[in-house]
Protein backbone atom coordinates (compact mmCIF):
# COMPACT_ATOMS: atom_id res chain seq x y z
CA UNK A 1 0.00 0.00 0.00
CA UNK A 2 2.85 2.38 0.83
CA UNK A 3 4.46 1.69 -2.57
CA UNK A 4 1.21 2.57 -4.36
CA UNK A 5 1.01 5.89 -2.46
CA UNK A 6 4.57 6.76 -3.56
CA UNK A 7 3.72 5.94 -7.20
CA UNK A 8 0.57 8.07 -6.98
CA UNK A 9 2.48 11.00 -5.47
CA UNK A 10 5.11 10.69 -8.20
CA UNK A 11 2.37 10.68 -10.87
CA UNK A 12 0.81 13.80 -9.35
CA UNK A 13 4.23 15.44 -9.31
CA UNK A 14 4.72 14.56 -13.00
CA UNK A 15 1.26 15.88 -13.90
CA UNK A 16 1.92 19.15 -12.06
CA UNK A 17 5.18 19.50 -13.99
CA UNK A 18 3.38 18.92 -17.32
CA UNK A 19 0.77 21.53 -16.39
CA UNK A 20 3.39 24.04 -15.26
CA UNK A 21 5.42 23.46 -18.44
CA UNK A 22 2.40 24.16 -20.65
CA UNK A 23 1.39 27.23 -18.63
CA UNK A 24 4.93 28.62 -18.93
CA UNK A 25 5.25 27.99 -22.67
CA UNK A 26 1.89 29.43 -23.65
CA UNK A 27 0.86 33.03 -23.08
CA UNK A 28 -2.82 33.02 -24.09
CA UNK A 29 -5.82 31.00 -23.04
CA UNK A 30 -9.39 30.83 -24.35
CA UNK A 31 -11.61 31.90 -21.47
CA UNK A 32 -15.21 30.65 -21.51
CA UNK A 33 -17.75 32.65 -19.54
CA UNK A 34 -21.51 32.23 -19.33
CA UNK A 35 -23.44 34.79 -21.37
CA UNK A 36 -27.17 35.47 -21.31
CA UNK A 37 -28.00 32.56 -23.58
CA UNK A 38 -24.73 31.02 -24.79
CA UNK A 39 -21.19 30.60 -23.49
CA UNK A 40 -18.81 33.37 -24.55
CA UNK A 41 -15.14 32.72 -25.41
CA UNK A 42 -12.35 35.27 -25.45
CA UNK A 43 -8.58 35.12 -25.57
CA UNK A 44 -6.77 36.37 -22.47
CA UNK A 45 -3.13 36.77 -21.61
CA UNK A 46 -2.49 35.05 -18.27
CA UNK A 47 0.01 34.63 -15.48
CA UNK A 48 -0.16 31.90 -12.86
CA UNK A 49 0.86 31.23 -9.29
CA UNK A 50 3.80 28.93 -8.63
CA UNK A 51 1.58 26.60 -6.57
CA UNK A 52 -0.82 26.26 -9.56
CA UNK A 53 -3.79 27.37 -7.45
CA UNK A 54 -4.51 30.59 -9.37
CA UNK A 55 -4.40 32.09 -12.83
CA UNK A 56 -4.45 35.88 -13.23
CA UNK A 57 -5.75 37.81 -16.21
CA UNK A 58 -6.76 41.38 -16.93
CA UNK A 59 -9.81 42.91 -18.53
CA UNK A 60 -11.54 46.24 -18.81
CA UNK A 61 -14.60 46.61 -16.60
CA UNK A 62 -16.90 47.63 -19.46
CA UNK A 63 -16.45 44.38 -21.44
CA UNK A 64 -18.90 41.55 -22.00
CA UNK A 65 -16.36 39.18 -20.47
CA UNK A 66 -16.21 41.18 -17.24
CA UNK A 67 -20.00 41.52 -17.03
CA UNK A 68 -20.46 37.78 -17.62
CA UNK A 69 -17.96 36.98 -14.87
CA UNK A 70 -19.63 39.33 -12.40
CA UNK A 71 -22.94 37.50 -13.00
CA UNK A 72 -21.53 33.94 -13.19
CA UNK A 73 -18.21 33.37 -11.41
CA UNK A 74 -17.66 29.82 -12.70
CA UNK A 75 -15.50 29.76 -15.84
CA UNK A 76 -13.30 27.46 -17.88
CA UNK A 77 -10.10 28.29 -19.68
CA UNK A 78 -8.52 26.23 -22.45
CA UNK A 79 -4.77 26.38 -22.94
CA UNK A 80 -3.18 24.19 -25.59
CA UNK A 81 0.01 23.54 -27.49
CA UNK A 82 -1.31 23.29 -31.05
CA UNK A 83 0.81 24.53 -33.90
CA UNK A 84 -1.67 23.83 -36.72
CA UNK A 85 0.60 21.15 -38.15
CA UNK A 86 -0.13 17.49 -38.77
CA UNK A 87 2.07 16.62 -35.77
CA UNK A 88 -0.59 18.10 -33.49
CA UNK A 89 -2.61 14.91 -33.86
CA UNK A 90 -0.01 13.07 -31.79
CA UNK A 91 1.88 15.83 -29.96
CA UNK A 92 -0.60 18.56 -29.02
CA UNK A 93 -1.92 18.73 -25.47
CA UNK A 94 -4.92 20.61 -24.14
CA UNK A 95 -5.49 21.83 -20.62
CA UNK A 96 -8.94 22.75 -19.38
CA UNK A 97 -8.86 24.86 -16.23
CA UNK A 98 -12.05 25.04 -14.18
CA UNK A 99 -12.74 27.36 -11.29
CA UNK A 100 -14.25 30.55 -9.91
CA UNK A 101 -13.15 34.08 -10.70
CA UNK A 102 -12.74 36.74 -8.03
CA UNK A 103 -11.81 40.38 -8.47
CA UNK A 104 -8.40 41.08 -6.96
CA UNK A 105 -6.25 44.13 -6.57
CA UNK A 106 -3.31 42.61 -4.71
CA UNK A 107 -0.07 44.30 -5.77
CA UNK A 108 1.77 40.96 -6.04
CA UNK A 109 -0.73 39.72 -8.66
CA UNK A 110 -0.27 42.87 -10.70
CA UNK A 111 3.53 42.53 -10.40
CA UNK A 112 3.42 38.89 -11.48
CA UNK A 113 1.27 39.80 -14.47
CA UNK A 114 3.50 42.72 -15.45
CA UNK A 115 6.66 40.61 -15.16
CA UNK A 116 5.21 38.21 -17.74
CA UNK A 117 3.72 40.95 -19.95
CA UNK A 118 5.75 44.17 -19.53
CA UNK A 119 4.46 45.40 -22.91
CA UNK A 120 0.92 45.53 -21.43
CA UNK A 121 1.87 48.07 -18.74
CA UNK A 122 -0.39 50.87 -20.06
CA UNK A 123 -3.34 48.48 -20.28
CA UNK A 124 -2.74 47.08 -16.78
CA UNK A 125 -2.37 50.51 -15.21
CA UNK A 126 -5.48 51.93 -16.88
CA UNK A 127 -7.99 52.91 -14.15
CA UNK A 128 -10.71 50.86 -15.85
CA UNK A 129 -8.70 47.60 -15.90
CA UNK A 130 -9.27 44.84 -13.36
CA UNK A 131 -6.87 42.04 -12.58
CA UNK A 132 -9.01 38.98 -11.99
CA UNK A 133 -8.04 35.77 -10.22
CA UNK A 134 -9.22 32.39 -11.41
CA UNK A 135 -9.17 30.22 -8.29
CA UNK A 136 -8.62 26.81 -9.77
CA UNK A 137 -10.70 23.83 -8.71
CA UNK A 138 -9.59 21.34 -11.35
CA UNK A 139 -7.16 20.88 -14.23
CA UNK A 140 -8.04 18.44 -17.01
CA UNK A 141 -4.96 17.60 -19.08
CA UNK A 142 -5.49 15.74 -22.38
CA UNK A 143 -2.66 14.29 -24.42
CA UNK A 144 -2.82 12.23 -27.62
CA UNK A 145 -6.55 13.15 -27.84
CA UNK A 146 -7.50 10.25 -25.56
CA UNK A 147 -5.38 10.23 -22.43
CA UNK A 148 -7.20 12.34 -19.85
CA UNK A 149 -5.52 13.23 -16.56
CA UNK A 150 -7.24 15.25 -13.85
CA UNK A 151 -5.75 17.23 -11.00
CA UNK A 152 -8.06 18.53 -8.29
CA UNK A 153 -6.74 21.61 -6.50
CA UNK A 154 -7.51 21.94 -2.81
Render pLDDT for 87-126 as a digit per residue (tens, 0 to 9): 988 899 999 999 999 987 688 999 999 999 999 999 999 9
pLDDT, tens digit (0-9, with 9 covering 90-100), for 52-80: 999 999 999 999 999 999 999 999 999 99
List the domain range (segments joined by +) for residue 132.
2-152
Q: Give the pTM.
A: 0.90
In percent, the amount of the chain with pLDDT more than 70 equals 93
Contact criterion met (CB below 8 Å) for 64 and 40:
yes
Cβ atoms within 10 Å, residue 88: 14
Indicate the number of domains in the chain. 1
pLDDT, tens digit (0-9, with 9 covering 90-100), for 6-29: 445 669 899 999 999 999 999 999
pLDDT, tens digit (0-9, with 9 covering 90-100), for 122-140: 999 999 999 999 999 999 9
Q: Which residues pair with 111 in a beta bridge?
A: none
Cα dihedral across residues 99, 30, 23, 141: positive or negative: positive
Contact criterion met (CB below 8 Å) for 116 and 127:
no
- Residue 141 buriedness (CB in 10 A; 0-12 / 13-18 / 19+): buried
What pLDDT was estimated at residue 9?
A: 61
Amino acid sequence: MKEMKVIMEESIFQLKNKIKDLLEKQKLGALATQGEKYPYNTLVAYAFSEDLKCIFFATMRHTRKYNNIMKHHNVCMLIDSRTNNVTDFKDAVALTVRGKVVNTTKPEHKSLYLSRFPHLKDFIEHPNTSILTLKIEKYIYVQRFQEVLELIIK
